Homo-oligomer: A and B are copies of this chain.
């Protein structure tokens, strides 16, 4: 089995995790959450999204949040940008990185971003040009890279097309998102190398855990050399425009497995669990987190 020495975990709870919550956290609570995530050793944090507040009111405070964040050494804050208007709001605040987003499937892109993928990509090319001029690194995220809630299995060519567009825009990495959470390990090992080949870029994975296969997909992804995963504290999340999608792969479940496999992440598990308890109190409902459940009932054997 092929294992990297170290995996980079991008924490997406402040963005993907909170965007679907009925309870809107205050900006101060979000800043506190992000500070706790950084204190737990996470070095790459998707802090918020510059989508129109009408669509995602949970993240309407993006402009207020970014200036509240402290900048510990080595911590990078990325923000999700769907279009030029979003970039224009974000740019003056100096994000460390910009994550572009577009779906591979037409109908999910329309549901999620209210335009065709071609229109999205044209707009993102403008964003990318501006970001390059501003010296801001780019990551290209492909939603519904595996399954679309409306169209079923997404043809590989569609994913390749969006990935190539990102490569042409100067993205440093392509993130394949299993928005619905039904990707299987074989789908992962077949798709990832194709995207890498088509773009020449490193590929990271953004997994949801709807079918309970997210960790199995991580193992498969490690096999094909992936060493960068998104995850959300407490397994928060779910796309408002992907009916039935469950939360993200929980950061603490991912980190627990990787550490047990001897793979470093730089994350302190105890601090991470403290942060998970904080966010559980803030959102006011139980989390989809195996690791937190185990910690709460103290059932791990000695040394585990």
Contacts and interface: CB of A to CB of B under 8 A. Distances in A.
A95 interface: no
A291 B244 CA distance: 13
A interface residue count range (under 10 / 10 to 19 / 20 to 34 / 35 or more): 35 or more
A257 B294 contact: no
A186 B262 contact: yes
B257 A216 contact: yes
Contacts of A182: 300-301, 304
Interface in A235-267: 243-245, 253, 256-257, 260-262
Interface in A148-163: 148-153
Contact of A261 (B151, B152, B184, B291): B184
Nearest to A184: B260
A253 B216 CA distance: 12
Given A3-B186, A211-B291, A294-B244, A301 B147 contact: yes
A301 B60 CA distance: 30
A297 B211 CA distance: 12
Contact of A153 (B218, B290, B304): B304
Interface in A284-304: 290-291, 294, 297-304
Contacts of A302: 150-152
Contacts of A294: 210-211, 244
Q: Which 3 A-B pairs have the closest CB atoms?
A: A244-B299, A212-B290, A152-B302
